Amino acid sequence: MAMRLSRRLLSLPAIKDFAQYEAIKTSKSSMMVGFFTGHWSMASKMYQEQFEAMSKSYPKCTFYTCDIDDAPMAAYDAEVSEVPSVVIQPLGLKPDGSYYDKTDMVVVAPELAKFDQVIPKAKAAVDSIEVLDDEGERLPWQFDPATGTTLPPHK
């Protein structure tokens, strides 16, 4: 008898394309926190509920999920090399007044198949990042040929 695995409906938004991923960067959120999964990954399925529970602890952050097969450009931009991974990108101002950019991104991936450590390490990383409020309008990030990535526009 074949057993069929179904996707659970979770309350977090699921990124389906790169445009959705980029749109989060212009939100009024203090940071974007993504859970990058693979529909074929049992570990991703096991820890998705823990990630959703984590999202309830950080109301100022924008949490989302992303299947790397649905949005491969988002996974590439987030430097995801294995699943499940949690990617934390602070948005807005640093304590010194400069803007956070991609160099401040934190990728939490399992080490040597220690999948149970991904969510606790991600929580510790989110707790360690201080973001100041930025009342200005957030503009789309722009491609920077010098770094080969997108960066927030500096005002």
Question: Kind and range of the H or E element at 63?
Answer: strand 61-67
Task: Give the span between the Cα atoms of 61 and 150, in whole angstroms.
Answer: 20
For residue range 83-116, what is the model confidence (pLDDT) as tens digits? 999 999 999 888 988 888 888 999 999 887 678 8
pLDDT value, residue 79 = 94
* Higher per-residue pLDDT: 116 or 68: 68
The domains found in the chain, sorted by start residue, are: 14-131+140-151 (3.40.30.10)
